[in-house]
Amino acid sequence: MTKYYPEPDGKSFPQMEQEVLLQWEREHLLSKVKGRMEGGRPLVFCEGPPTANAKPHIGHALTRAVKDAFLRYHVMNGRKIVPYIGGWDCHGLPVEIEVERALGIQSKKDIEKLGVDKFNRLCRESVLTYKADWEAMSRRIGYMIDYDNAYLTMSKEYVESVWWSLKQLHEKGLLSKGHKVVPYCPRCGTTLSTHEVALGFRETEGRSIIVKFRLKGLDLTLLAWTATPWALLGNALLAVDRETTYSVIEHSGERLAVAEDRVGLVSLEGNLVGSIKGSELVGKGYEPPFKFYDFSANGWKVVHSPDVAHEEGTGVMSVSPAYGSVDFDLGETEGLEVFDPIDAEGRFTNAVPELKGMFAKDADSEIMRMLESKGLLFKWGLIKHSYPFCWRCDTALIYKAIDSWFVTVQDSKQRIIELNEEVKWVPEAFKHGRFGNFLADAKDWAISRSRYWGVPLPVWRCARNHEVCVGSYDELAKLSGSRLSESFDPHRPSVDSLETHCPECGDPMRREDFVVDCWYDSGCAPFAQYHYPFENIEEFDTHQSVDFIAEGVDQTRGWFYTQLALGTLLFDKPAYMSVLVLGQVLDEHGMKMKRGTDRVVYPDEVFSSVGADSTRLLFLGTPVWHDLQFSVDRVRDEMVGTLTTLLNVYAFFASNANAYGFRPGNEYGRTHDLDRWIVSRLHSSTKECREGFESLEVHRAVRALESFIVDLSNWYVRRSRRRFWEENDPQDRFSAHCTLYDCLVELSKLMAPITPFYSDWMYRNLKGPLESVHLEKYPEPNEDLINGTLERQISLVTTAVMAGRLARQKVNVKLRQPLPEVVIAVDTDKAWTLRRFEKMIAEELNVKRVEVLESREKMIQYAVHPNLKVLGPKLKGGSDEVAQLLSKVNENELVKHLRSKGKIRLGGFTLAEEDVIVSEKEKPGYSHASIDDVHVYVRLEVTQNLKLEGLSREVIRRIQHMRKEQRLEFEDPVAVEYDGHPDLESAISSHKEHIMRETHAKALMRKESPEGAQKWMINKLPLELSVRRSAP
């Protein structure tokens, strides 16, 4: 017999996915999807470019799955994704460090010895290698997007767009060079921006010290606290708050001063001998702890600063202009030179001979020894605090004054905040919380990096300080006086080999020896992916704001910020209109996955064992902004709970549809409440799916689908099984087939954005040799087919059934064992519904009778015990006698009397309600369970007839198991022979017709020791069964 609907052939989900993936490639599905999108309403997208500097782990697959789900959804809704391309972040220290690791080198000196040209070539090759790994993972997770035309931040086109943006800022006066204190990584030898610093804070322990500063011309010593002892080598000033009162304490023969509210906190013991206002201290000179630089002209004096901390320290601040932004400003105000005895590697220079070559942060103990030898170390201790580390190499940062190029952000901060108000954030809390707080504290952006592999800063200067910012390759050619070759590479060192001359004076020019912050590169993606403004001008100008982006929470102070800042500064528009923030994928113990540890899970291992669709279900089934503890076992649970269940439903449909030659018709009347109910559930689930996608809450769609699959499998199919092979009612059989077919087809469309592989597999099997499900329209709910009343009624029925099964489980009575009765107690409104579905409930709970009560009073059995806490003091020694009397009375009657009269006379005692403890106990002969306000009581009596019927159901189960083992088709008839315990033989003979009908048996005969029989034990009773395929 030809099978119209392919039946599952035992392949695993990973095998099915690989076949579907190959089919997509053979059919050029991406091209077809692009063709389908033509003419659609644009949905502007920008791929957040992952940095191709290492193999991706399973956490990286989350972002790919989320973006793919939303893009597929919008494609199925007729939207045109613009542009429908991937993107790769190719520059920056993450790439450089990976190459350094591979080469076994650790410093900029090593790189320059190797040669910048060779080093950058290796960086490019590394990017392309890891880009291939990322593409393979992305395709395998099902992320359908154009990889062949993806933007690369290292491409000539992209770099030119970045240069254009920098020139725009330069012309607006927003890009300039400055000498400021900035975060600095001594290992990488370069600065960081404030948003980069925010990525690397962690709790650490370090030394803090309190140092004595003796004032000149005054018998007073100021105590200053610092957590950076190494910065004291550049001390030039002391700062106080002129409004603060400082207490003077006599301590060990010295008069020491600290802010009056800090005396106790710094544990300064001694006699209070006076006080002095900060204003009286301003202008006083002091003896510096070190004199490696002469600040005597304008320094080594006390100044006022409103930035003196009142939450920590002593209220006196040591000012080292080279090592703090506040310090730098104070020094500039006082006209001080900047003394920085720390080199580019973070080591002391020969300006401090005693510490030459020592790493600054390692010098604390030696500096403390030096201070102690001078009698200037008052106290030291250990402090736990949040300290910034390099997000790229994990080295502790220092702050130092250095030449850098800055994008002025602070002047436009308010406008950035205003434009952020136009953005939809999911979850909403990020808008004014983590992200909003960061915007409020935004600093000018240090974008220059003293490194090699990045976009060269396109600023050229001559010896007379004339300055040109180049915004295109044509402008560079003009500056160099010759055309650029086709092979021109805008990276170092190629770009620096060009001879350029100043257009003002004609002198040679030299490019500023920096590359651009790679976060600036990626922040240009919304326009640079178009090679704007050199190409695709109209395409970008018509929609300068991206409709949708989604990236990890770590991008809050990274890519999310840089895009919004550049969108504001360049176009006065928000770079994006909606952003979905993703949580982190943690290991199964809740720890962050870190490369080089056993906590990392790689995608290939997961996809090959449990599949990509199951992984996507786990990712998308909970709010994606929550952190997710990942394990293969959790993915397997999704596979078994959802995909395997759905596969079984499809297999059931295909087997029965093939057996009866079913083909879907155009029109059919639904003949059964179950058909109308499951169709209603389908359309209400469709509505919930659409609402979930539209609100960027895809977990709502996943949960709606998983709930529907449970209802479809555990209720609709199981309740309708016999209808699919009912010979006497072909119209009802056709209705059941059509209903299940429609549900599966629509379900394949609804699930397509979430489980793209299995959905396409099932869709093609149902529809025949047609196109992919991913070329279909996403289903729309039909409100006329949603029957909320019927859904609530069936939901109530399922609740009652679940409670009934719980009652059975409590006493270990199998569902296959028929029982005489179930009593359900609910309120009046629910009682009407349950009575309507009594037959269904009886079948589900395998009972002969259902009684629905509108009160459970009849079924309650009370237990009454003396309340000894009350009765003990009241009756003294009579409590035991009361307990005996209570054990002999009708407890239900006693409770009824107490509740109506308030007290009862028992023996020689008068008892009130508070004198007894009333509880419920099982009614004799029943097992009780409840869910919410639905109470179910299952009567446990098993008569001989019920026992035999239960045994017959156990026999049916064994025969069906043997049919499955022999891989018999649904319609294949069998002959059954048996031999066993008399009780089993009696059960078989009593229910012979039912057993034959259920198992498609043409013959059911007793035979002593049947040939080839399989031995079973049923309720400890032996049975031998032989099952063979027979002639039709």
Q: For 84-130, how does the pLDDT look when each residue is reduced to its tens digit (9 = 90+)?
A: 999 999 998 889 989 998 999 988 899 999 999 999 999 999 999 99
Site of tokens 């295909």: 654
β-partners of residue 628 are 585
Q: What is the pLDDT of residue 668?
A: 65
Q: Residue 769 falls within a domain, yes or no?
A: yes
Evaluated on CA atoms 608, 610, 613, 615, the torsion sign reads negative
Same domain, 753 and 716: yes
Rounded to an integer, what distance in angstroms lies between the CA atom of residue 639 and that of residue 618?
Answer: 9
Rounded to an integer, what distance in angstroms lies between the CA atom of residue 620 and that of residue 693?
Answer: 11
Q: Residue 684 falls within a domain, yes or no?
A: yes
Q: Residue 425 falls within a domain, yes or no?
A: no
Helices (H) and strands (E) in the chain, counts: 37, 40
Q: What is the pLDDT of residue 666?
A: 62
CA distances from 1002 to 628, 730, 779, 974 (A): 54, 22, 45, 6
Same domain, 229 and 350: yes
Q: What is the pLDDT of residue 1031?
A: 80
Q: Residue 140 falls within a domain, yes or no?
A: no
Q: What is the pLDDT of residues 970-988, one digit of tens each?
A: 778 999 999 999 999 999 9
Q: Going along 821-959, which residue ranges are E strands?
A: 821-825, 850-853, 861-866, 903-906, 909-912, 916-921, 926-931, 934-939
Same domain, 870 and 852: no
Q: Residue 125 falls within a domain, yes or no?
A: no
Q: Residue 130 falls within a domain, yes or no?
A: no
Same domain, 832 and 884: no
Token representation of residue 1028: 């063979």
End-of-domain residue from the set 885, 911, 939: 939
Q: Going by C-beta distance under 8 Å and a sequence separation of 6 or more, which residues neighbour residue 602?
A: 55, 56, 57, 58
Residue 189: Cβ within 10 Å count? 19
What is the phi/psi pair of residue 909, to 5°? -120, 145
> ∠ CA(235), CA(236), CA(238), 5° rounding?
90
Q: What is the pLDDT of residue 269?
A: 82
Contact status, residue 64 vs residue 20, Cβ threshold 8 Å: no
Return the closest-CA partner of residue 142 out of 29, 41, 44. 29
CA distances from 493 to 147, 167, 467, 480, 486 (A): 29, 21, 20, 15, 16
Same domain, 737 and 828: no
Residue 78: Cβ within 10 Å count? 14
Site of tokens 């596979």: 639
Rounded to an integer, what distance in angstroms lies between the CA atom of residue 154 and that of residue 49?
Answer: 12
pTM: 0.85
Q: What is the pLDDT of residue 439?
A: 93
Q: Residue 608 falls within a domain, yes or no?
A: no
3 state SS of 453 = coil
Q: What is the pLDDT of residue 887?
A: 83
At 231, which amino acid appears? A
Same domain, 816 and 880: no
What is the phi/psi pair of residue 1023, to 5°? -150, 135
Per-position b or e across 634-672, b if 16+ CB within 10 A of its CB: bbbebbeebbebbbebbebbbbbbbbbebeeeeeeebbb
**Percentages of the chain per state (helix, strand, coil), in multiples of 5:** 45, 20, 35
Same domain, 726 and 806: no
Rounded to an integer, what distance in angstroms lies between the CA atom of residue 629 and that of residue 635?
Answer: 11
Residue range of the domain that includes 743: 633-776
What CATH number has the domain bearing residue 721? 1.10.730.10
End-of-domain residue from the set 388, 413, 429: 388
Token representation of residue 864: 């009454």
Q: What is the pLDDT of residue 543?
A: 86
What CATH number has the domain bearing residue 836? 3.30.2320
Rounded to an integer, what distance in angstroms lies between the CA atom of residue 867 and that of residue 869?
Answer: 6
End-of-domain residue from the set 337, 360, 388: 388
Same domain, 951 and 918: no
Same domain, 301 and 346: yes
Q: Residue 592 falls within a domain, yes or no?
A: no
Looking from the CA of 1002 toward its CB, the CA atoms found within 13 Å total: 10
Q: Going along 424-516, which residue ranges are E strands?
A: 424-426, 445-446, 448-449, 459-462, 467-469, 500-501, 508-511, 515-516
Rounded to an integer, what distance in angstroms lies between the CA atom of residue 910 and that of residue 913?
Answer: 10
Q: Cα 412 vs. chain centroid, distance in angstroms?
A: 32
Contact status, residue 464 vs residue 502, Cβ threshold 8 Å: yes
Q: How many residues does the chain have?
A: 1032
Per-position b or e across 511-546, b if 16+ CB within 10 A of its CB: bbebbbbbbbbbbbbbbbbbbbbeeeeeebeeebbb
Which regions in the chain score pLDDT beneath 50? Answer: none
Q: What is the pLDDT of residue 1018?
A: 94
Contact status, residue 791 vs residue 677, Cβ threshold 8 Å: yes
What CATH number has the domain bearing residue 229? 3.90.740.10
- The count of domains in the chain is 5
Pairing of strands 201-214, 578-582: unpaired
Rounded to an integer, what distance in angstroms lies between the CA atom of residue 751 and that of residue 643?
Answer: 11
Same domain, 911 and 962: no
Same domain, 229 and 316: yes
Q: What is the pLDDT of residues 588-605, one digit of tens each?
A: 888 888 766 677 899 999
- Write 851-856 long-range contacts (CB < 8 A, 24+): 851/821, 851/822, 851/823, 851/824, 852/823, 852/824, 852/825, 852/826, 853/823, 853/824, 853/825, 853/826, 854/825, 854/826, 854/827, 854/828, 855/825, 856/825, 856/935
Rounded to an integer, what distance in angstroms lies between the CA atom of residue 711 and that of residue 86?
Answer: 38
Rounded to an integer, what distance in angstroms lies between the CA atom of residue 30 and that of residue 41?
Answer: 18
Evaluated on CA atoms 896, 897, 901, 904, the torsion sign reads negative
Pairing of strands 861-866, 916-921: antiparallel
Looking from the CA of 475 toward its CB, the CA atoms found within 13 Å total: 16
Return the closest-CA partner of residue 227 out of 214, 250, 240, 208. 208
Q: Which helix (H) or strand (E) holds 175?
A: strand 175-185
Same domain, 678 and 719: yes
CA distances from 678 to 312, 675, 780, 787, 1021 (A): 66, 5, 16, 10, 41
Residue 1012 region, left (φ>0) first, then alpha (ψ -120 to 50), else beta?
left
